[in-house]
Chains A and B, each alone.
Chain A
Amino acid sequence: MSNIDYTIEPEVVEGKPSHSAVNDAIAKPLETKPTWKYYIALGISSTLLLIGAVCLGYSFYYGIGLWGNNQPVGWAVPIVNFVFWVGIGHAGTLISAILFLFRQRWRTGIARFAEAMTIFAVITAGLFPLIHTGRPWLAGYLFPLPNQHHLWVNFTSPLIWDVFAVSTYLTVSFVFWYIGLIPDLAMLRDRTTSKIKKVIYSIFSLGWRHSNRHWNHYEMIYLILAGFATPLVLSVHTIVSFDFAVSILPGWHTTIFPPYFVAGAVFSGFAMVQNVLIIVRKIFNLEHIITLDTLEKMNKVMLATGMMVGYAYGVEFFIAWYSGNPLESFVFLNRAFGNYAWAYWIMVSCNVIFTQLFWFKKIRRSIVPMFIIGVLVNVGMWFERFVIVVTTLSKDFLPSNWDYYKPTLVDIGILLGSFGLFFTLVILFIRSLPVVSISEVKAVIKGSQPGHH
């Protein structure tokens, strides 16, 4: 593969599988009994979920005093987790919407999966602001509904923007994902032999009948939804960054936060999607649909977004000095050399230094190194949020107020639980819905389309 022939279009799907073979390959996980590996994976993830549930129940009963949050550091690991998971969600929409608008056809094999991961990640993320309030049963007041107090929500508050952004994002992602699923569900409906499955697929495919009169509208709405999802995905992490940036705390209040957060979100999301896809394509023999070329392109995107994140680190540091504001420079020096320097350097090395290995084609195309780098990227991105949230708060304007923050075991249990929730949903999804969009894959196989004349 060292010499690419630029005169021909690269194939998205390797080989030239027949349409029925595509159907069989993608529908296989839904129709066969899972192997013991599947149950082990499910066991691990649901154990994690159980740990999280226990820790959460504990926190609900005794209150959030069980967490490590202390006086200056009121926003701690729960908010770190929130930002982290919202970020993971961004890759899905990027793959399904932005790459769709740019007509990057390599997205076809991974779009469905990435969209599903978006939804699961946003669900996981949504948990954290709720539990962070300490009294999640009062969350109804976050919505601007008429109530007995005659009070409305404060629309100038970034926390309300979050409510709107995250719930809109979840809804629109879900609609986008569901619209994409309809033709595949219809395919499954026509294929299945089980009566119960037939009823379920019939209900959810709504009676889709592959009509080209419908496809005409369908392609239009796909374009429209992609067009809406693209600014939406920017807006969501922008608004998450506003949570920090509209404040006046040095280290939080900086104008580059919106694009920087978005780049970071895409970065970590791609790493997560890449990790999960590597496992899925191996287990379900989808190597010809989720190709190595696709993974290599994902790695390139990670390299690019990693450098954008690095750019933001650099600019922030430079401007902190350039501004001549002693508070700004203090915060940044404190990040790099203060008592959270360990977290800072984990962040820098994972996000900026290790990803530079992707300059080498060999690493971009070999599974094990790219998997490891993907994991490291997510570690780095988690610590990026940790650094942002904790270092700024732990040393605020009043030195007598300073304190060192440490997460407690309950905090860590909840973090593990969030991974458990996410992966349990992913694992259940793999067995219940087609992980690759069948209709899109068919459409890009060579010979599927009539020639242009």
Chain B
Amino acid sequence: MIENQQILYHKKPLPKKLLNLGLLLFVVGLLGTIAGFFVDSARISFNLVVLTTWLASIGIGSLFFIGIEYLTGAVWSVPFRRVAEINSAIIFVLPILIVPIILNIHSLYHWTHIEAVQNDTILKNKAPYLNETFFIIRTVVFIFLWFLFYYLFISNSRKQDSTSDQKLTKRNSIVSAAFMPVFAISLTFFAIDWLMSLEPHWYSTIFGVYYFAGTFLASLGAFTYISILLNEKGYLVEGLGPDHYYSMGALLFGFTNFWAYIAFSQFMLIWYANLPEETFWFINRGVGSWFYMSIGIILVKFIVPYILLLPQPAKMDPKRLKIAALWILFAHYYDLFWVVMPTFSKNGIPFNWFELVPIVLGLGLFIMVFYYVASKVNLVPIGDPKLRRGVEFHL
């Protein structure tokens, strides 16, 4: 047993190339988005909804991951926790992204049309909840809450780098416990507002859990990919290897199954009961080329990651894990696209530069934010009392 040996960490700055790449993607994406607003503002707005919910997934999911680490007392993820912390900083782009969306809210959400609501008994009943003011208030409050918990988690964690104070871990555990209910409620209503109310007549009680499953998967995907990449390039500390990777692989695998379980439950119950007020959501996703996308989601979001991650050795193989992690990030985008876009284009999958631009913009934003935050902090929480146990973690 190595008892009193210090864990050595030297901060290595990320390559400048990365920032340039991020900037390039961002500029291309931004120009494309602006062009999109001039050509077809409705279409680009729908795509921005996909992007926003995707980036929100990565950010809030990472916060959730940090909270779970503190609550369960997990140690294997401690050396990588900074990655999740930096990933969660992506929530700071949400206020910027939602502005153009809210300006175009009429082309997105049917319930914002007052004359349509007046002639629709069901929508009239929902008006106390589904109206523009309350929608904006809710969104702002949720984002504020996420910022608040981001601040609490991150400030404690960073303070620990210099003080190595164990009380900060304790404090963050309390913050985590408080965060869990906030997370559950905010994420559910965020999903109902931004995704479910695109079809204002449709309802499904599991929808919040459905979005949560994808959210956690996406954040795990980002976490796994970046952690392995940084570790391979030597930005983290010595001694992290297959045993840690295995935990990431197992989580990705487990939550892939969880997503499939939730998605199947939702589909199955609606399909079986066959009530017209619910089935139309799935029927809309069987029109024209949407049918293939609906079948594809089983393949993309369940079968491919399932097969990639099924064998025990695969969960420890960094190469395979990186592919799977990126694939899962893509799959979550695919999933959200499948949830959002049929409202815009009823007859088939729209695919053009409109659909690609937000991805470019999102990647650019993500890389820039990551680079910016990573340049300011240590990439390993060197003051965390659980760090040594984390590094020495064995299965």
Residues of A at under 8 Å CB distance from B? 3-10, 101-104, 231, 234, 238, 242, 245-248, 253-259, 304, 307, 311-312, 315-316, 319, 322-325, 359, 451-452
Q: How many residues from B make CB contacts under 8 Å with A? A: 52
| Closest Cβ neighbor of A4 among chain B residues | B170
CB distance from B272 to the nearest CB of A (A): 4
- Does B104 make an interface contact (CB < 8 A)? no
Interface 0/1 of B64-76, CB less than 8 Å to A:
0000000011010
Let me know if B184 and A311 touch, CB within 8 A.
yes
Which partner residue on chain B sits nearest A257 by CB separation?
B269
Tell me if B284 is interfacial: C-beta within 8 Å of chain A: no
Picked from B185, B250, B273, B388, the residue with its CB within 8 Å of the CB of A7 is B388
Interface pair A322/B275, CB less than 8 Å apart: no
A7 touches B188 (CB 8 A): no
CB neighbours of B384 from chain A (8 A): 6
Contacts of A6 in B (CB 8 A): 73, 166, 169, 384-386
Would A259 and B180 be within 8 Å (CB), given that A248-B273, A319-B203 are in contact?
no
When the two chains form their complex, are residues B203 and A322 in contact, meaning their CB atoms are under 8 A apart? yes
CB contacts (< 8 Å) of A3 on chain B: these are 166-167, 170
- Closest Cβ of chain B: how far from A181's Cβ, in Å? 24
20 more CB-based (< 8 A) A-B contacts, given A7-B385, A257-B205, A311-B184: A3-B167, A5-B166, A6-B73, A6-B386, A7-B389, A101-B250, A231-B257, A231-B261, A248-B273, A255-B205, A255-B206, A255-B269, A257-B265, A258-B261, A259-B262, A312-B205, A315-B205, A315-B208, A324-B122, A324-B123
Complex CA–CA separation, A359 to B71 (angstroms) = 13
Q: Taking CB as reference atom, which chain A residue is nearest B206?
A: A255
B129 CB within 8 Å of chain A: yes
Please classify the interface of chain A as helix (H, G, I), strand (E, B), loop, or mixed, using the class held by over half of its residues.
Answer: loop
A-contact bits for B261-279, CB 8 A (1 contact / 0 none): 1100110111011110100
Interface: B131 (CB within 8 A) = no
Contact B261 A248 (CB under 8 A): no
User: With A259-B209, A452-B394 given, is the CB distance from A324 to B126 under 8 Å?
Assistant: yes
Q: Does B99 contact A (CB under 8 A)?
A: no
| 3 pairs of A and B residues whose beta carbons are closest in the complex | A256-B205, A324-B122, A6-B385
Are B269's CB and A253's CB within 8 A? yes
**Interface hits, B141-189 → A, CB 8 Å:** 166-167, 169-170, 177, 180-181, 184-185, 188
Question: Which of B166, B207, B261, B273 touches A238 (beta carbons < 8 Å)?
Answer: B261
- Confirm or deny: B125 has a beta carbon within 8 angstroms of a beta carbon on chain A: yes
Q: How many A-B residue pairs have CB under 8 A?
A: 105
Q: Which residues of A have CB within 8 Å of B266? A: 255
B204 at the interface (CB under 8 A from A): yes
Least CB distance from A102 to B in Å reads 7
- Encode contact with A along B188-213: 1 for CB under 8 Å, 0 otherwise: 10001000000001011111110000
Assuming the contacts A307-B180, A315-B188, asked whether A253 and B265 have C-beta atoms less than 8 A apart, the reply is no
In contact, B166 and A253 (Cβ under 8 angstroms)? no
The answer to the question of B8 belonging to the interface, with a C-beta cut-off of 8 Å to chain A, is: no
Q: Are B129 and A322 in contact (CB under 8 A)?
A: yes
Inter-subunit contact B385/A245 (CB<8 Å): no
15 contacts between A and B (CB under 8 A): A3-B167, A6-B169, A7-B166, A7-B389, A238-B261, A242-B269, A246-B273, A255-B266, A255-B269, A258-B206, A259-B206, A259-B209, A307-B180, A324-B122, A325-B277
Residues on the B chain within 8 Å of A103, using CB: 395
Distance in angstroms from B116 CB to nearest chain A CB is: 14
Q: Indicate whether B133 reaches chain A with its CB closer than 8 angstroms.
A: no
Find the residue from A101, A257, A324, A451 having the highest chain B CB count within 10 A.
Answer: A324
Flag if B269 contacts A246 (CB, 8 Å). Answer: yes
Docked Cα-Cα span, A304 to B177, in Å, equals: 9
With the chains together, A258 CA to B204 CA distance in Å? 13
Q: Let me know if A102 and B72 touch, CB within 8 A.
A: yes
Docked CA distance A152–B384 (Å):
61
B76 to chain A, nearest CB (A): 9
Give the docked Cα–Cα distance between A445 and B169 (Å). 26
Q: Which residues of A contact B188 (CB under 8 A)?
A: 311, 315
Query: How far is A316 from B262 in the complex, measured between Cα atoms in Å?
Result: 16
CB under 8 Å from chain A, chain B span 104-128: 121-123, 125-126
CA distance A257 to B268 in the complex (A): 12
Measured in the bound complex, the distance between the Cα atoms of B2 and A452 in whole Å is: 10
Q: Measured between C-beta atoms, what is the minimum distance from B107 to chain A in Å?
A: 23
Which residue of the partner chain, among B201, B265, B389, contacts A258 with CB atoms under 8 Å? Answer: B265
Please tell me if B1 contacts chain A, counting CB pairs below 8 Å: yes
Complex-state Cα separation, A451 to B394, whole angstroms? 12
Contact status of A253 and B209, CB under 8 A, knowing A304-B180, A322-B129, A451-B1: no
Contacts of A247 on B, CB cut-off 8 Å?
A: 273
Contact B273 A234 (CB under 8 A): no
Give Cα distance in the complex from A319 to B177, angstroms: 26
Question: B126 to chain A: which residues have CB within 8 Å?
Answer: 322, 324
Report yes or no: B273 in contact with A253, Cβ–Cβ below 8 A.
Answer: yes
Give Cα A323 to B203, complex, Å: 6
Q: How far is the CB of B177 from chain A (nearest CB, A)?
A: 8
- Identify which of B184, B204, B257, B273 gathers the most chain A CB atoms within 10 Å of its CB: B273
Q: Considering the chains assembled together, what is the distance between the CA atoms of A255 and B272 in angstroms? A: 11
In the assembled complex, which residues on chain A have CB atoms less than 8 Å from the CB atom of B272? 246
Closest B residue, CB atoms, query A324: B122
Determine how close the nearest CB of chain A comes to the CB of B389; give it in whole angstroms.
Answer: 6
CA distance A223 to B394 in the complex (A): 16
- Tell me the complex Cα distance, A307–B178, Å: 12
Which of chain B's residues have a CB closer than 8 A to the CB of A325? 277
B389 touches A9 (CB 8 A): yes
Q: Is the CB of B386 within 8 A of A7?
A: yes
Which among B181, B265, B394 has the highest number of chain A CB atoms within 10 Å?
B265
Nearest CB in chain B to that of A7: its residue: B385
Question: How far is B270's CA from A285's CA once the two chains are assembled, in angstroms?
Answer: 52
A242: chain B residues within 8 A (beta carbon): 268-269
Give the nearest-CB partner of A311 in chain B. Answer: B184
Contact A248 B265 (CB under 8 A): no
Query: Bound complex: CA of A7 vs CA of B209, how far in Å?
Result: 35
Closest to B258 in A: A234
A319 in contact with B205 (CB, 8 Å): yes
Smallest CB gap from B167: residue in A: A3
**Shortest beta-carbon distance, B110 to chain A, in Å?**
14
**Residues of chain A lying within 8 A (CB to CB) of residue B254:** 101
Query: Are A248's CB and B275's CB within 8 A?
Result: yes
Cα distance A446–B192 in the bound complex, in angstroms: 50
Q: What A residues does B395 contact at CB under 8 A?
A: 103
Expressed in whole angstroms, the minimum distance between the Cβ of B161 and any Cβ of chain A is 15
The smallest beta-carbon distance between B10 and chain A, in angstroms, is 22
With known contacts A315-B188, A451-B1, A253–B275 Cβ distance under 8 A: yes
CA distance A316 to B166 in the complex (A): 41
Complex formed: what's the CA distance from A359 to B178 in Å? Answer: 10
Collect the chain A residues with CB atoms within 8 Å of residue B203's CB: 319, 322-323
Cβ-defined contact, A323 with B262, below 8 A:
no
Q: Which among A10, A322, A324 is the interface contact of B121 at CB below 8 angstroms?
A: A324
Query: Which residue of chain A is the closest to B196 with respect to CB atoms?
Result: A322
Q: Which residues of A contact B268 (CB under 8 A)?
A: 242, 246
Complex Cα distance, B184 from A304, in Å, reads 12
Q: How far is the CA of A307 from the CA of B266 in the complex (A)?
A: 22
How many whole Å from A112's CB to the nearest CB in chain B? 22
| Chain B contacts for A5, CB-based, 8 A | 166, 385
Q: Mark B371-395, 1 if CB is under 8 A from A, else 0.
A: 0000000000000111011001011
